[in-house]
Amino acid sequence: MSNKPDCIFCKIAAKEIPAEIVYEDDSIIAFEDANPQVPVHTLIIPKDHYDSIADNVPSELLAKIFSNVANVAKIKGVRESGFRTVVNTGDEGGQTVHHLHVHILGGAALPIHMGPAD
């Protein structure tokens, strides 16, 4: 597994930092966001380090991450009621931890716009 020693998500994947794990397999791990923005705020990350979705992530790994979104939403109880899936990329895209991660947000009615309206 390739990781960055100063990356908090790499440390979570390596079990060096505790997290409330929702799902895990050989290449990805899903866990609760430490600063949830809505009642359900779960992250799915690859165990290997990629700075963002724009970091030459193998298509098989992206498929694995996104094919588990519905599974994690079901585990969290929001698959039927609805949820939002978000991937922030880069500083201007709102990414605060530079390790590819997918947010699953739900458990409450979410606004249509996440920021200022057009």
The residues annotated as belonging to the active site are 101
Based on the number of CB atoms within 10 Å of its own CB, is 93 exposed (0-12), middle (13-18) or buried (19 or more)? exposed
Strands 40-46 and 28-32: antiparallel
Write down the residue that tokens 């991937």 correspond to: 87
CA 2 to the chain's CA centroid: 18
